[in-house]
Amino acid sequence: MLDSIDERFDAELIERAQAGDLTAFGELVRRHQRAAIRVAAVALGSSTGADDVAQEAFMKAHAALHRFNEGSPFEPWLFRIVTNTARNRMRLLGRQRALAVRSGNLGAIGAPMADEIVAGRADSQDLIKAINRLRPADRLILMYRWYEELSETEIADALGCRRGTVKSRLSRAMTRLRVELGADS
């Protein structure tokens, strides 16, 4: 069941792309590339190569479009391909995990006071370091839930797990993150 206008537009683009319309697929790429690159970075544990992984994932998604379930949201399906691709890449490269944090740009959550922004930057660095020490699956579920704001069903689709296990997985990931944050302090 597609709830949003965005999802219905995706469905139209997918239908056109399945019929061979490359322009429609290009529009899908344009709409989801930012999210795909971010998922790739979190799955890789590094922003380096995240765009390459996302590009490869879009190629695979195009090759598999005929198997896409009509009526399902596009992003969870795409995210699974992205994370599978990232996992393959990590196996090949044995890459170390080191998430980098852009300087500044913490103002996305309301309008904190100036001193909070400074504190927020340091806090964000610590938080990213703590998140970075988590397993990829934990990092991904935290991002899917709190950043991408996916539903439980969508998270289950993106992770390839049972919907009934999403809550417990998220809870465990939060617990492990709190432990990591405690270790930092």
Partner 1 sequence: MISLEERIAAAFDDLDVPETDLVDAVLSELGSPAARPTGERTRRLLLAAAAAVVVVASVLAVAPAREAVARWFGIGATRVEVVPTAPTTDVTSRDVSDMLQGDIVVVDVNPIPELGPPSSVIEDDGRRHYTWVATDDQPPIGNTGLGVVLSVRSIDGEVDLKQPSVDVGAEIGSINVDEVLVAGLWIDGTHEFLAAGSSSPVLAEKVLIWVVEGVQYRLETNLDLAEALAVAEMVHGGTELLPSG
Contacts with partner 1, residue ranges (CB under 8 A): 22, 25-26, 29-30, 33-34, 36-38, 41-42, 47, 50-51, 54-55, 58-60, 62-64, 67-69, 72, 77, 80-81, 83-85, 87-88, 91, 99-102, 105-106, 108-109, 112, 120, 123-124, 127-128, 131, 137, 142-143, 146-147, 157, 159-162, 174, 177-178
Both tokens of residue 185?
């302090």
Nearer to partner 1 by Cβ, of 105 and 118: the residue is 105
Q: Which of 93, 95, 94, 112 is nearest to 104 (CA)?
A: 112
Q: Cβ 163 to partner 1, closest distance in Å?
A: 9
Q: Cβ 52 to partner 1, closest distance in Å?
A: 9
By three-state DSSP, how is residue 20 classified? coil
Both tokens of residue 8?
């219905």
Q: Cβ 125 to partner 1, closest distance in Å?
A: 9
Q: Under 8 Å CB-to-CB from 148, ≥6 apart: which residues? A: 35, 75
Angle made by CA atoms 126, 132, 134, in degrees to the nearest 5:
115
Nearer to partner 1 by Cβ, of 6 and 30: the residue is 30
Q: Distance between CA 178 and CA 184 in Å, rounded? A: 10
Q: Cβ 5 to partner 1, closest distance in Å?
A: 21
